[in-house]
Amino acid sequence: MATETVYAELTAALKRVHALGTLVELLGWDEQVNLPEGAAEQRAGQQAALAEALHAAASDAKIGGWLATLEADATLSDDQRAVVKNARRDYDHATRLPAEFVRDKAAQSSRGYHAWARARAADDFAGYAPVLRKNLEFAKREAGYLGWGGREYDYMIDQHDPGMTAAVIERLFGELKAGLVPLVREIAAARVKPRTDALRGFSPEGQRVFLREVTERLGFDYQRGRIDVSLHPFCSGTGSDVRMTTRFKEQEPLDSLFSAIHETGHGLYEQGLVAEHLGTALGVHAGMAVHESQSRLWENQVARSRGFWQCFEPRLRELFPAQTAAVSTDELYLAINAVEPTLIRVDADEVTYNLHIILRFELEKKLFTGELAVDGLPAAWRTAAQALLGLTPANDRVGVLQDVHWSGGSFGYFPSYCLGNMLAAQLWYRALALRPALEDDFARGDFRWLLNWLRENVHAQGRRFDALALARRVTGEELSPRHLLRYLRERYGALYLR
Amino acid sequence: MATETVYAELTAALKRVHALGTLVELLGWDEQVNLPEGAAEQRAGQQAALAEALHAAASDAKIGGWLATLEADATLSDDQRAVVKNARRDYDHATRLPAEFVRDKAAQSSRGYHAWARARAADDFAGYAPVLRKNLEFAKREAGYLGWGGREYDYMIDQHDPGMTAAVIERLFGELKAGLVPLVREIAAARVKPRTDALRGFSPEGQRVFLREVTERLGFDYQRGRIDVSLHPFCSGTGSDVRMTTRFKEQEPLDSLFSAIHETGHGLYEQGLVAEHLGTALGVHAGMAVHESQSRLWENQVARSRGFWQCFEPRLRELFPAQTAAVSTDELYLAINAVEPTLIRVDADEVTYNLHIILRFELEKKLFTGELAVDGLPAAWRTAAQALLGLTPANDRVGVLQDVHWSGGSFGYFPSYCLGNMLAAQLWYRALALRPALEDDFARGDFRWLLNWLRENVHAQGRRFDALALARRVTGEELSPRHLLRYLRERYGALYLR
């Protein structure tokens, strides 16, 4: 067969596999949003059957044959090469892991989750430690099967961020930490204290109206997506069917709003992928760091800006006159940009959040190199929390037991959050350089320039470039934490360090 | 392998195939209830990928091997034999149709739908006739592939109602027609006229509350199901995840209520299947006639009864005091049991509905035997409508073009509706014989005896018995239209022929 024919066969197969993958996601969405309470077991059977069908499609030997043909073909275009490279990665993942290992790992992951939930409730790290050791073992075996022996932690990182390595992260996080720890100390010592408890009694109905207006104005296309309510906010789906969720807390309206804007950032990325390429490297996201850069940029750089609130503050006051009467414009803006170190990552503000990630990265890395044993984790966590956050957890529930990720074997995921913050700030200053009046756009409720720029330079690129290459290409320089440090010092310095 | 091992392998595979099938249904539900407008094309790709995966699983040669082994095994229990028989039916259907035929038929079915929609809008039967001829040809070829050559219409009927034949239906419908046509004439000539337009302005919110209370009281388990809004009401899902839909018409509250109760009947059946057998013949419904018997029994025999309204009328008046103030109890009950011949099947009341089905059956049958050519359909329809309903369609939009079914190649489906009505009445009188105080139960809001009796005798039986065998087994006599005729004459005679 001619190259074009083989390539067409391959991409058609990739799209079918991808379509099945989107159904796995849809089932996950449905489970969070719609599933009747009593249907959990039946749903597990549906998921297992779909997973099996997906695996059969993804490991079809024909794909392997087409890949071998195309990899030996010197006439491929850059785009075609990117598609083949990514397909090879997925195909190896689908075919190189023994079926028995996949089954055992899934069972271990499920056991791990329950062991973690029990251990956290009982503040019993010792009861969790064996699971964690087993999860590490599984992760290392998996890396071995895929040819990453000796670079196991890099393998885990690469799963979430293709092309990223622990060495690169270590350098970036080192620089970030050096600038960030002093900034957090300065803010903590400042006399400015936000009145975060002044905003109370926001009805879900009113919040829903506000949130819909905001997300629509930012550019989320409700003809190609929707928003529902779930316990934990998330964004799923892709292309023309992107489904976000949020939750409404009457006493914490900013929580609902900013988590919805965060998910909107993810949603805009997925809606910005090129429809005809969905399912190949030209039409899937570039990795979790880039994904987080999109959610963070809209949530933080955009929606915590003065310009944004010049546009939306009047509407907020119109919808909630009584609830906002006692709060001045400056007080509102300060509450939106509240900074206060906390032990809990998911409660952390934009400034200290990064320190939580650095802490986890440093411990994960040592777990993989063997410098740190699982038993030593709680103590290491406490030491690191004190050094980074200036706080020491009173128990492991607010320390090493707080996150679910490791319980299911998800190592190497945490760094993406912080890398995303770095990339968001770097993209932000590049956008500002190209269009200095960006905040004036926002004040007029116009977010089109920014969205179009991201569409063209990030979303429509799919997986052609990894996070590092994308930063280089779009901003003209290597990914660096200095933009994030500059941004945090500018925004929060102005508020807290006057 | 020992019988038990082979049987276990087979049932495990059947359950996986069934689980994938439930996902097809879930996608259908999602499309009606949730899908963003712009996502239709992407969804088509998902459906195609899932259909392909389902077909691969259903036609796995291992299933064929297990079936051959078990079919040659004389030691199987009756239940095992029922499972094997049904699995053979499904396996043959998955494997005996050439892939090309399946593809062509799907394309034809899609073209047919659009051609019908165009033709109906333009009242242009001639534009639809070629599609109909093609659909008949596809149906006959399909019957041939599956070994039903010469019995093509029986094959189509058997698709919806395993074990049923055109000859049986012809006899049953003949008897029914003989009793029903005069009854409809008598009612039409009666002086009693229901005030169906007296019930107006029922808010969707109030209707939602009432409907939820009613369906829950009937026994629908909302821990294992849900109800949502869609353009056309339907019920999908099975076991512990049964999803019904309804719609709210402010000026036609009885439409919303009775369609929801109809779907509840379907839902109760699906919730009553035995969880451990889901996906084998012991845990799937027995066919469309039995399914319709369940929806109709709850909708008609139960929810149009005096006892039912003794229970729920006070609550309806409580929720809608102004809207019901001018309507007496007798007027309300008459409106609930309004009879008026109409040309449109989906608008028909409980009495005349059966005549619409008989009409379609008689024409379908002649299309398959060749006694009637497609071109002769409009005239034949008009003649039959006059003979059966006493009405002549002024055009084909309210005649032969009104139904979607044939456009997609769905022949042999209509009879199930009327067979379901017959079986519902026959079950009803059997239940009454066992528990004469059934309507007193209803008046107290207690539907448990009836539901438990149906659970045990119908729902939990799965597909062990076809509609005819089930009637025989549960009621002690052959399926017969005389129970339906008795029921209609008792209920409607009392209201209209006093």
Examine the domain organization and report whether A61 and A137 are in the same domain: no
Question: What does the DSSP assignment read for A140-162?
Answer: HHHHHHTT-TT-HHHHHHHHHST
Q: How many whole angstroms separate alpha carbon A446 and alpha carbon A457? A: 19
Torsion of CA A319, A323, A325, A327, to 10 degrees: -110
Catalytic residue selected from A263, A292, A350, A439: A263
Residue B21 resides in a domain? yes
Report the residue of B14, B33, B222, B241 to disrupt the A interface, i.e. the one with the largest count of A CBs within 10 Å.
Answer: B241
Q: How many whole angstroms separate alpha carbon A480 and alpha carbon A173? A: 9
Helix (H) or strand (E) holding A229: strand A225-229
Nearest CA in chain A to B54: A53
**What CATH number did the domain enclosing B423 receive?**
1.10.1370.30
Q: Does B223 lie at the interface with A, CB-CB under 8 angstroms?
A: yes
Q: How many whole angstroms separate alpha carbon B454 and alpha carbon B441? A: 15
**In which order are the strands placed within the sheet that holds B235-238?**
B225-229, B241-246, B235-238
Q: Does B36 lie at the interface with A, CB-CB under 8 angstroms?
A: yes
Question: What does the DSSP assignment read for B178-243?
Answer: HHHHHHHHHHHHSS----GGG-----HHHHHHHHHHHHHHHT--TTSEEEEE-SS--EEEETTEEE
Q: CA quadruple B84, B89, B90, B96: dihedral positive or negative?
A: positive
Nearest CA in chain B to A275: B42
Examine the domain organization and report whether B279 and B362 are in the same domain: yes
Q: Does A55 lie at the interface with B, CB-CB under 8 angstroms?
A: no
Examine the domain organization and report whether B164 and B89 are in the same domain: no
Closest CA to B354 of B171, B212, B180, B231: B180
Helix (H) or strand (E) holding B317: helix B306-319
Contacts of A39 in chain B (CB under 8 A): 224, 239-241
Query: What three-state secondary structure class fits A477?
Result: coil
A20–B49 CB contact, under 8 Å: yes
A38–B226 CB contact, under 8 Å: no
Contact at 8 Å (CB) between A460 and A271?
Answer: no
CA angle B250, B256, B262 (to 5 degrees): 175
Examine the domain organization and report whether A334 and A425 are in the same domain: yes
Examine the domain organization and report whether A386 and A454 are in the same domain: yes
According to the model, what pLDDT value does residue B1 have? 73
Closest CA to A265 of A429, A458, A468: A458
Exposure string of B480-494, with b = 16+ CB inside 10 Å and e = fewer, is bbebbbbbbbebbee
B260, with CB counted inside 10 A (0-12, 13-18, 19+), is buried
B406, with CB counted inside 10 A (0-12, 13-18, 19+), is buried
Examine the domain organization and report whether A443 and A355 are in the same domain: yes
Q: Does A44 lie at the interface with B, CB-CB under 8 angstroms?
A: no
Catalytic residue selected from B142, B152, B263, B270: B263
B53–A48 CB contact, under 8 Å: no
Residue A176 resides in a domain? yes
Last residue of a domain, one of B53, B75, B95: B95
B42–A278 CB contact, under 8 Å: yes
Domain count, chain B: 2
Closest CA to A363 of A347, A345, A379: A379
B49–A19 CB contact, under 8 Å: yes
For this structure, is A71 an active site residue?
no
A16–B275 CB contact, under 8 Å: no
A223–B37 CB contact, under 8 Å: yes
B16–A49 CB contact, under 8 Å: yes
B39–A241 CB contact, under 8 Å: yes
Written as tens digits, the pLDDT of chain B (498 aa) is 788 999 999 999 999 999 999 999 999 999 999 999 999 999 999 999 999 999 999 999 999 999 999 999 999 999 999 999 999 999 999 999 998 999 899 889 989 999 999 999 999 999 999 999 999 999 999 999 999 999 999 999 999 999 999 999 999 999 999 999 999 999 989 989 898 788 999 999 999 999 999 999 999 999 999 999 999 999 999 999 999 999 999 999 999 999 999 999 999 999 999 999 999 999 999 999 999 999 999 999 999 999 999 999 999 999 999 999 999 999 999 999 999 889 999 999 999 999 999 999 999 999 999 999 999 999 999 999 999 999 999 999 999 999 999 999 999 999 999 999 999 999 999 999 999 999 999 999 999 999 999 999 999 999 999 999 999 999 999 999 999 999 999 999 999 997
Residue B421 resides in a domain? yes
Contact at 8 Å (CB) between A378 and A399?
Answer: yes
Contacts of A53 in chain B (CB under 8 A): 20, 50, 53-54, 56-57
In angstroms, the separation between the Cα of residue A26 and the nearest Cα of chain B is: 9
Contact at 8 Å (CB) between A285 and A467?
Answer: no
Contacts of B42 in chain A (CB under 8 A): 239-241, 275, 278
In angstroms, the separation between the Cα of residue A298 and the nearest Cα of chain B is: 23
Examine the domain organization and report whether B158 and B42 are in the same domain: no
Structure tokens at B113: 């739908």
**Interface A-B: count of C-beta contacts within 8 A:** 113
CA A161 from chain center: how many Å? 11
Closest CA to B134 of B408, B413, B415, B414: B408
Instruction: Enumerate helices (H) and strands (E) in chain A, giving the number of each.
Output: 21, 3
Residue B200 resides in a domain? no
Query: What one-character DSSP code corresponds to residue A164?
Result: -
A453: amino acid identity, one letter: W
Range list of H helices, A161-245: 166-189, 204-218
Of B39, B43, B241, the CB nearest to A36: B241
Which residue stretches of chain A have pLDDT < 70?
none
A239, with CB counted inside 10 A (0-12, 13-18, 19+), is buried
Contacts of A30 in chain B (CB under 8 A): 26, 30
In angstroms, the separation between the Cα of residue A207 and the nearest Cα of chain B is: 21
According to the model, what pLDDT value does residue A300 have? 97
Report the residue of A42, A226, A270, A271 to disrupt the B interface, i.e. the one with the largest count of B CBs within 10 Å.
Answer: A42
B205, with CB counted inside 10 A (0-12, 13-18, 19+), is exposed
Of A46, A223, A278, the CB nearest to B19: A46
Contacts of B35 in chain A (CB under 8 A): 241
Examine the domain organization and report whether A305 and A443 are in the same domain: yes
Contacts of A41 in chain B (CB under 8 A): 240
Examine the domain organization and report whether B356 and B496 are in the same domain: yes
CA B308 from chain center: how many Å? 23
Range list of H helices, A190-287: 204-218, 253-271
Residue B213 resides in a domain? no
Query: What one-character DSSP code corresponds to residue A14?
Result: H
Using alpha carbons, list the distances in angstroms from residue A220 to A82, A259, A314, B56, B201. 28, 14, 21, 38, 36
Phi, psi of B454 (to 5 degrees): -65, -40
Q: How many whole angstroms separate alpha carbon A317 and alpha carbon A335? A: 15
Examine the domain organization and report whether B14 and B142 are in the same domain: no
Residue A310 resides in a domain? yes
Q: How many whole angstroms separate alpha carbon B324 and alpha carbon B11? A: 54
According to the model, what pLDDT value does residue A1 have? 73
Structure tokens at A193: 């204290």
Contacts of B56 in chain A (CB under 8 A): 53, 56
Residue B114 resides in a domain? no
Contact at 8 Å (CB) between A149 and A454?
Answer: no
Q: How many whole angstroms separate alpha carbon B286 and alpha carbon B460? A: 10
Q: Does A241 lie at the interface with B, CB-CB under 8 angstroms?
A: yes
Q: How many whole angstroms separate alpha carbon B113 and alpha carbon B119? A: 10
> What's the ipTM?
0.92
Contacts of A17 in chain B (CB under 8 A): 49
Helix (H) or strand (E) holding A241: strand A241-246
* CB proximity list for A52: less than 8 A, separation 6 or greater: B16
Examine the domain organization and report whether A368 and A448 are in the same domain: yes
Structure tokens at A466: 């990894």
Residue appearing with tokens 């004040």: A443
The residue range of the domain holding A172 is 125-195+285-498
pTM of the model: 0.94
Phi, psi of B380 (to 5 degrees): -65, -40
Examine the domain organization and report whether A460 and A371 are in the same domain: yes
Q: Does B50 lie at the interface with A, CB-CB under 8 angstroms?
A: yes
Residue B112 resides in a domain? no
